[in-house]
Chain A
Amino acid sequence: MSVSVMIVDDSKLARIVAAKALGQLQPDWQKVEAGSAAQALELLETEKVDVALVDFNMSEKNGLELAAELRAMRPDMPIAIITANIQDEIISQAREVGAAFIAKPVTSEALSGFVSGAALKLRTAKA
């Protein structure tokens, strides 16, 4: 019943910050963390993931590539790209894969729009 959010970022600190912000908005949501795109794809096999927060700037595979793969596997999953680098190029790519865009550092304020939209989506999908 509970919602599970996957947080993908190669920085532990960044994952903590994102998890904290999320916890303020939706204390009941479960969080699973992945330190890389590969780990995220592995997690997807074993864990229930309803929502994904993906850092753009990761060393092996960047967040947009991962988001595109996630989108292919899960057409309806709410996905957000997190980045400190707000460039039009990245914004438009994120929009192409249907991902929301969240500026770094992640605050609960910055996250709230995406989270409430995701909650709606999950609710209407179930209904």
Chain B
Amino acid sequence: MSVVVDGPAIRLVGHCPVEDAEPLLVALQEDAGRVVHLGELEGAHFAVVQILLLCCPALEGFPKDLFLKNLVLPILGASASEQINADP
């Protein structure tokens, strides 16, 4: 499973296929305060990215994939960075 839920943290690992949208959503629905860690992310289906865009969780780390890091992360970042800063 490439969505690893670990208490208050969710780690996205490797390539996250379309199916991962569901466990990711469930994890965020359970606890919207969970921080999503992107440091091990190598690729993501749009369905997964869409969940991040719709739920706006706090994010941490940079994806390994350059497309995700340089082009997708800036879209996610705008709302996410505020939340990261707001976190004590």
Give residues in A with beta carbon < 8 Å to B: 116-117, 119-120
A117 to chain B, nearest CB (A): 7
**Which residue of the partner chain B has the closest CB to A117?**
B18
Closest 5 CB pairs of A and B: A116-B18, A116-B17, A120-B18, A116-B19, A120-B19
Q: In the complex, A119 Cα to B19 Cα: how many Å?
A: 9
**Which residue of the partner chain A has the closest CB to B22?**
A120
Q: In the complex, A117 Cα to B19 Cα: how many Å?
A: 9
A70 to chain B, nearest CB (A): 23
List residues of B (5-52) whose CB comes within 8 Å of A's CBs. Answer: 17-19
**Which residue of the partner chain B has the closest CB to A113?**
B18
**Which residue of the partner chain B has the closest CB to A116?**
B18
A41 to chain B, nearest CB (A): 31
Q: In the complex, A119 Cα to B17 Cα: how many Å?
A: 12
Residues of B within 8 A of A119 (CB): 19
**Which residue of the partner chain B has the closest CB to A124?**
B22
Q: In the complex, A86 Cα to B20 Cα: how many Å?
A: 30
B44 to chain A, nearest CB (A): 14
Q: In the complex, A120 Cα to B19 Cα: how many Å?
A: 7
**Which residue of the partner chain A has the closest CB to B21?**
A120
Residues of B within 8 A of A120 (CB): 18-19
Q: In the complex, A120 Cα to B17 Cα: how many Å?
A: 11
